[in-house]
Chain A
Amino acid sequence: MIIVENLVKSYRSNCVLHGIDHTQKRGEAVVLIGPSGCGKSTFLRCLNQLEIPDAGRITIGGVTIAGGQPPRTAKEKDQQRQLRLRAGMVFQSFNLFPHLTVLDNVTCGPRIVKAMAKEDAETLARELLGKVGLENKADSYPGQLSGGQQQRVAIARALAMQPEVMLFDEPTSALDPELREEVLKVMRNLVEDGMTMIVVTHEMQFAREVADRVLFFDAGRIAEEGPPEQVFSNPQHQRTREFLNRVATR
Chain B
Amino acid sequence: MSDARRCSRVVWWVLIALLASRQPEVLASDILAAIHKRGELLWGADAEGGAPYVYPDPQKPEQLIGFEHDLADALAAHLGVKARMVQNQWDQLIPALERGNFDIILNGLELTVEHRQRISMSQPYYVYAEQIVTRKDTTGLVRLETLKGKPVGVLSSTVAQRLLEKMGGTDLRIYPGNVESLRDLKARRIEAVLMDLPIALHYAKPDPELSFSGEPFAPGYYGIGVRQQDLQLLVALNQAFTDFARDGTFERIYRKYGLWDTRQETLKDYRPETVFERKPVSTLREWPKYLPLLLRGAAVTVELSVLAMALAVVAGLVVVLVRLYAPVPLNWLARAYVEVIRGTPLLIQLFLIYYGLPEIGIRLNPFFAGIVGLGLNYAASESENYRAGIQSIPRGQTEAAQALGMNRWQSLRHVVLPQALRVVIPPVTNDFIAMFKDSSIVSVITMVELTKVYGMLAMSTYDYIGLGLMTAAIYFALSYPASLLADRLEKSLSYDHR
Q: Which positions in A face B, CB cutoff 8 Å?
A: 48-50, 77, 81, 84-85, 87-89, 91, 93, 95-99, 108-109, 112-113, 141, 143-144, 154, 157-158, 161
Contacts and interface: CB of A to CB of B under 8 A. Distances in A.
Interface of B: 394, 396-397, 399-407, 410, 414-415, 418-419, 422, 495-496, 498
Contacts of A96: 400
Contact of B403 (A89, A143, A144): A89
A134 B257 CA distance: 92
Where chain B touches its partner, the secondary structure class is: helix
Given A108-B414, A112-B410, A112-B414, A99 B404 contact: no
Contacts of B396: 91, 93, 95
Given A109-B405, A112-B406, A95 B414 contact: no
Given A84-B405, A112-B410, A161-B405, A50 B399 contact: yes
B478 to A, nearest CB: 31
B492 to A, nearest CB: 13
Given A91-B396, A93-B396, A141-B498, A48 B403 contact: yes
Given A91-B396, A91-B400, A98 B406 contact: no
Contact of B405 (A81, A95, A143, A154): A81
A154 B498 CA distance: 20
Contacts of B399: 50, 91, 95
21 contacts: A48-B403, A49-B402, A50-B402, A84-B403, A87-B403, A89-B400, A89-B403, A91-B400, A91-B403, A95-B394, A98-B495, A99-B419, A99-B422, A99-B495, A108-B414, A113-B404, A113-B405, A143-B495, A143-B498, A154-B400, A158-B404
Contacts of A81: 405, 407
A97 B403 contact: no
A230 to B, nearest CB: 32
Contacts of B394: 95
A99 B410 contact: no
Given A112-B414, A113-B410, 19 more contacts: A49-B402, A88-B403, A89-B400, A91-B400, A91-B403, A93-B396, A95-B394, A97-B397, A97-B419, A98-B495, A99-B422, A108-B404, A109-B404, A109-B406, A113-B405, A143-B495, A143-B496, A143-B498, A157-B404
B127 to A, nearest CB: 74
Contacts of B419: 97-99
B420 to A, nearest CB: 10
B404 A144 contact: no
B384 to A, nearest CB: 22
Contacts of B496: 98, 143
A144 B498 contact: yes
A96 B415 CA distance: 10
A158 B404 CA distance: 7
Nearest to A48: B403
A250 B498 CA distance: 40
B242 to A, nearest CB: 82
Interface centre among B405, B406, B410, B498 (most CB of A within 10 A): B405
